[in-house]
């Protein structure tokens, strides 16, 4: 499947900075509260948190409804890291009734946000900057982080530990979502992959080969250009899920790689709304 580094070479899509800022402002109205009791990470966002994790101190952003216990969800951001567009997703999911941890995948290297948006990522040659960070995010490293993140979530008063954990990954982090399910199979019950890359491969830790080690339902939302470049991947994912006796929605969307991320050059609002509805349907199973 194609890699989001390619997006750094593309022009802007349907949204400019002002339009994206408006979306972020509206999303901030979602029902969520400061994290109450967790340690603030020192950023301006009152929902910032930090806690010990393998290799350093994990910083992220935690959103949840103002009262009650709800299922936990982990959001793994795309190549440009934890930034406003993913915080908006976290707030929106909190409004839907989930306790959401937006993870900084690069916490071993730099606190979030590393980039303000995808324009900033492109302008600062973000692909080159994060390359060594990404290379360090092996399956084992991500799985270790996932264990720490779920252990932290299970300690939060807003999290219903009787319910399963949901995980969503975008682009390169779709693999992280599957690795999270493999790392803590008794807790992770729903996994969503949006225009995921590197899901199918020949190594033992390729996500497609780990589905059998998980107990989750899956949503693999594939972009049309990823499917064009690797048409066999969707079939491999379907076959792996069937062999593992797992439910999996494997769908090719008529939108291009990055279409669900609002600051991506390929953002497609209509297709993104459809994918969001599918995510909510999946999380309803927790």
Q: What is the CATH number of the domain that holds 97?
A: 3.40.50.1820
DSSP collapsed to 3 states, 36-76: CCCCCCCCCCCCEEEEEECCEEEEEEEECCCCCCECEEEEE
* 138: phi then psi, degrees, rounded to nearest 5: -75, 170
Cα separation values, 65 from 34, 71, 93, 141, Å = 10, 11, 9, 30
* Residue-level pLDDT at 262: 96
pLDDT in tens, the chain (286 residues): 445 444 444 433 433 333 333 344 333 333 333 333 344 444 457 899 999 999 999 999 999 999 999 999 999 999 999 999 999 999 999 999 999 999 999 999 999 999 999 999 999 999 999 999 999 999 999 999 999 999 999 999 999 999 999 999 999 999 999 999 999 999 999 999 999 999 999 999 999 999 999 999 999 999 999 999 999 999 999 999 999 999 999 999 999 999 999 999 999 999 999 999 999 999 999 9
pLDDT at residue 20, rounded to an integer: 36
Residue 239's nearest CA partner among 282, 181, 200 is 200
pLDDT at 46: 82
Q: How many domains does the chain have?
A: 1
Domain that holds residue 190: 4-283
Contact 224, 256 (CB under 8 A): yes
Q: pTM of the full predicted structure?
A: 0.88
Token representation of residue 126: 């973000």
Q: How far apart are CA 192 and CA 206, in angstroms?
A: 16
Beta bridge partners of 181: none
């Amino acid at each position: 499947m194609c890699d989001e580094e390619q997006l750094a070479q593309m022009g802007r899509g349907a949204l400019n900075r002002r339009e994206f800022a408006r979306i972020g402002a509206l999303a901030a109205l979602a029902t969520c509260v400061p994290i109450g009791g967790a340690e603030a990470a020192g950023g301006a966002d009152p929902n910032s948190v930090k806690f010990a994790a393998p290799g350093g101190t994990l910083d992220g952003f935690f959103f949840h409804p103002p009262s009650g216990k709800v299922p936990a969800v982990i959001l793994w951001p795309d190549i440009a890291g934890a930034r406003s567009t993913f915080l908006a997703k976290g707030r929106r999911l909190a409004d839907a009734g989930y306790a959401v941890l937006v993870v900084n995948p690069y916490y071993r290297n730099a606190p979030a946000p590393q980039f303000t948006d995808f324009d900033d990522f492109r302008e600062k040659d973000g692909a080159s900057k994060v390359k060594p960070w990404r290379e360090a995010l092996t399956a084992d490293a991500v799985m270790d982080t996932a264990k720490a993140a779920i252990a932290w979530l299970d300690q939060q008063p807003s999290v219903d530990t009787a319910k399963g954990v949901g995980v969503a990954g975008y682009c390169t982090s779709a693999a992280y979502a599957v690795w999270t399910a493999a790392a803590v199979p008794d807790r992770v019950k729903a996994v969503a992959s949006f225009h995921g890359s590197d899901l199918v491969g020949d190594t033992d830790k390729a996500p497609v080969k780990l589905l059998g080690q998980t107990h989750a339902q899956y949503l693999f939302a594939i972009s049309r250009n990823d499917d064009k470049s690797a048409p066999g991947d969707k079939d491999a994912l379907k076959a792996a899920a069937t062999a593992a006796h797992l439910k999996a929605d494997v769908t090719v969307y008529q939108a291009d790689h990055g279409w669900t991320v609002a600051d991506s050059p390929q953002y497609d609002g209509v297709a993104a709304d459809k994918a969001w509805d599918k995510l909510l349907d999946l999380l309803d199973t927790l």
